[in-house]
Amino acid sequence: MFSYVSNTEALSDVLRLSRGMTYKSALAGIALGGGKSVIIGNPHQDKSRQLLLAMGEFINSLSGTYITAEDSGTGVADMAIMGEKTPYVTGVVTGEEHGGDPSPITAYGVYQGIVASVAHQFKSNLQGVRIAMQGIGNVGYHLARQLISAGATVYAADINPANIQRAVNQLGVIEVPLDDIMSIDVDVLAPCALGGAINADSIDMIKAKVVAGAANNQLATVDMGLALKERGILYAPDYVINSGGIIDVYYQTKGIRDRKKVDAHVERIGDTLKTIFTRSDQTGHATSGIADQLAEEILAGDVQEMSA
């Protein structure tokens, strides 16, 4: 849900997002993708029970060809209201380890992706590795906890003082000023806030040799993928590394609540990244381009699903 200025802008965004879901699902080895929905409106002002019920009715009219889940501007409570009108809603289960808030499982996938990226770039584990996180909200908090448990030192900046304080007090994260987080001398930069973190202004500030984080659309423009590679920076494509949430949703749609199965599937994110990194090394192409290429090959049936 977002305050789009026009129907055209909303349509263009939903097409971009649905393409993204398709590619993400292909590389995650799950039979989802092809659709996405947007609601035009300010989530802080225009959201009402009637609106969410209407959305639920609309989704129900598609008879299960489209299944929704929470995303930017919506949350678990909104999904529960839509769920009064349709069974084709996920992310409404509470009181179970999988279902409801997807952030912990997304963070687990990003953690696996950082482990694989560090192994490829530095031939090491996370012990003593310095990681800078831009944004330490829902995903970032769970991610930082796992990184610190594995022996990494985590630096973070967040525009929300409560979120950074929680991470400093509870996890031992080291606070960094907002303006310094992209340029701090670390091994890994993990964008975990909004999209567009890697852009023409920020790219030459980055000292990290790995960029791997949860945020969607980390590259402001397509050419940033190659720009990172030319600077010797290994980039874990965003939609590959942050696919833990959609993998969890897939198991929810199948009615499978076996945590071990979901975790094992999410752990394969590391293997998918390894395949992408190796092909990037062999061809000289950007990892972001390789990910798109692999997804297209999977969708065309040229290769088996990555993780199936």
Query: What number of chain residues touch ligand NAD (CB under 6 A)?
Result: 25
| E strand map for 29-77 | none
CA–CA gap between residue 276 and residue 240 (Å, rounded): 10
Q: For residue 275, how many C-alpha atoms fall within 13 Å in the half-sphere facing its CB? A: 19
Among 27, 108, 144, 158, binds ligand NAD (CB under 6 A): 158
Per CB under 6 A, which region of 15-23, 158-166, 201-209, 294-302 contacts ligand NAD? 158-166
Active-site residue identified among 36, 47, 85, 229? 36
Shortest distance (Å) from residue 124 CB to ligand NAD: 26
CA–CA gap between residue 277 and residue 113 (Å, rounded): 11
- Give yes or no for a contact between 51 and 78, defined as CB atoms under 8 angstroms apart: no
Among 22, 74, 90, 134, binds ligand NAD (CB under 6 A): 134
Q: Among residues 35 and 58, whose Cβ is nearest to ligand NAD?
A: 35
Among 193, 240, 249, 286, binds ligand NAD (CB under 6 A): 193
Does 100 interact with ligand NAD (rule: CB under 6 A)?
A: no
CA–CA gap between residue 239 and residue 215 (Å, rounded): 9
Amino acid at position 123, single letter = K
Among 33, 99, 113, 245, binds ligand NAD (CB under 6 A): 245
Q: Which two tokens stand for residue 43?
A: 């989530």
Does 214 interact with ligand NAD (rule: CB under 6 A)?
A: yes
Look up 36 and say whether it is catalytic: yes
Does 216 interact with ligand NAD (rule: CB under 6 A)?
A: yes
Does 103 interact with ligand NAD (rule: CB under 6 A)?
A: yes
Q: Among residues 74 and 103, whose Cβ is nearest to ligand NAD?
A: 103
| E strand map for the chain | 130-134, 153-157, 174-175, 188-191, 210-211, 234-235
Does 117 interact with ligand NAD (rule: CB under 6 A)?
A: no
DSSP for 130-175, written as a single string: EEEEE--SHHHHHHHHHHHHTT-EEEEE-S-HHHHHHHHHHH-PEE
Among 138, 153, 165, 275, binds ligand NAD (CB under 6 A): 138
- Other C-beta atoms closer than 10 Å to the C-beta of 227 total 19
Residues in the site for ligand NAD, rule: CB under 6 A? Answer: 72, 102-103, 106, 134-140, 157-160, 163, 178, 192-194, 214-216, 242, 245
Q: Which residues are catalytic?
A: 36
